[in-house]
Amino acid sequence: MPDAVTTTVTVAARLSIRASRLALAIAAAVLALAGRPLAAEPMPIFDAHLHYNDEATAVHPVPEVLRLFRESGVVAILATSRPNDGSRALVAAAAATPRAAPRVVPFVRPYRNHADRQTWFNDPEIFALIESELRRDVGYRGIGEFHVFGRDADTPWVKRIVALAVERDLWLHAHCDDAALEILFGHNPRVKIVWAHTGFSTPPATIARYLARYPNLMGELSYRYDVTEDGKLAPAWRELFVAHPDRFVVGSDTWVNERWAQYREIMAYYRGWLVQLPPDVASRIAFGNGERLFGTGGNR
């Protein structure tokens, strides 16, 4: 029965070809999965709390920090520095080599030196410093980070800075306690505030009340290690992020050089809990919210 044998052989051969095609397809799919952008590239991050202070510029020159941003998947930064030379150096570097740098969103820092941190809120010279810095062609989008607690926020100079921010459509980057936050909004409820560390220890339930009360408030999450418990996203924070996905940003807070040394770990920590959120919530907190608020201007 040669015909039957031929048919059987042909069918077997076809089946075998199909099987090997399937094997090839699976292999290709596996390769494609392994090489897909999501696996190869980390979730982009907008670092919304970065300092490039004078002690950092000496140890970590501009090309080195630009490389650190690239290697950490940080595609935009909210840059501040004491004095403001560091931020301006980052702005200049990003303008000169936009492909090698993140987008830089500079804020005026109201400190010339360490001591100003304790006294800036009562110092007319600091107001003059802010005004003169804003006259530079740097593309400043805000004022901060500054530190202020309790009634220290209730000074004529802070009130003038709040008025200036509202008038010029600038953000404030405030490291403050709950009392000072209320005073800042009391000066002018239209002021826009990035709340550094989201109050540092303010409980999620209280944060939720502030978010409802102050539509121009954004929570920045550096040093909020209570966001996780044993590496898992804490339930109260998950609830807060899912309910308010547009109100949070993340940041490195490189306030001392030790934080520059930990930069990669800090970003890895964020990604560790961001991936536990629904992807759209995670990408907004990681990057989208910063882009929405500061997506125009700067060096791009």
Residue nearer to Zn ion on the CB measure, 144 or 204: 144
Residue nearer to Zn ion on the CB measure, 141 or 238: 141
DSSP class of 81: -
Judged by CB under 5 A, which of 224, 253, 263, 266 binds Zn ion?
253
The number of C-alpha atoms within 13 Å of 242 and in the hemisphere containing its C-beta is 12
SS (H, E, C) 12-63: HHHHHHHHHHHHHHHHHHHHHHHHCHHHHCCCCEEEEEEECCHHHHHHCCHH
CB of 196 to Zn ion, least distance (A): 6
Q: How many Å apart are CA 201 and CA 96, to the nearest integer?
A: 40
Which segment (209-217, 248-256, 260-268, 274-282) binds Zn ion by CB under 5 A?
A: 248-256
Residue nearer to Zn ion on the CB measure, 49 or 238: 49
Which segment (121-129, 150-158, 250-258, 292-300) binds Zn ion by CB under 5 A?
A: 250-258
Q: Determine if 47 is a binding residue for Zn ion (CB under 5 A).
A: no
CB of 232 to Zn ion, least distance (A): 27
Residue nearer to Zn ion on the CB measure, 255 or 273: 255
Q: How many Å apart are CA 42 and CA 251, to the nearest integer?
A: 16
Subset of residues 128 to 167 that bind Zn ion, contact rule: CB under 5 A: 145
Per the CB < 8 A criterion, the answer to whether 46 and 298 are in contact is no
Residue nearer to Zn ion on the CB measure, 145 or 152: 145
Beta bridge partner(s), residue 74: 45
Cα angle at 261 between 260 and 266, to 5 degrees?
A: 75
Q: Determine if 255 is a binding residue for Zn ion (CB under 5 A).
A: yes
Which residues of this chain interact with Zn ion, rule CB under 5 A?
A: 145, 253, 255
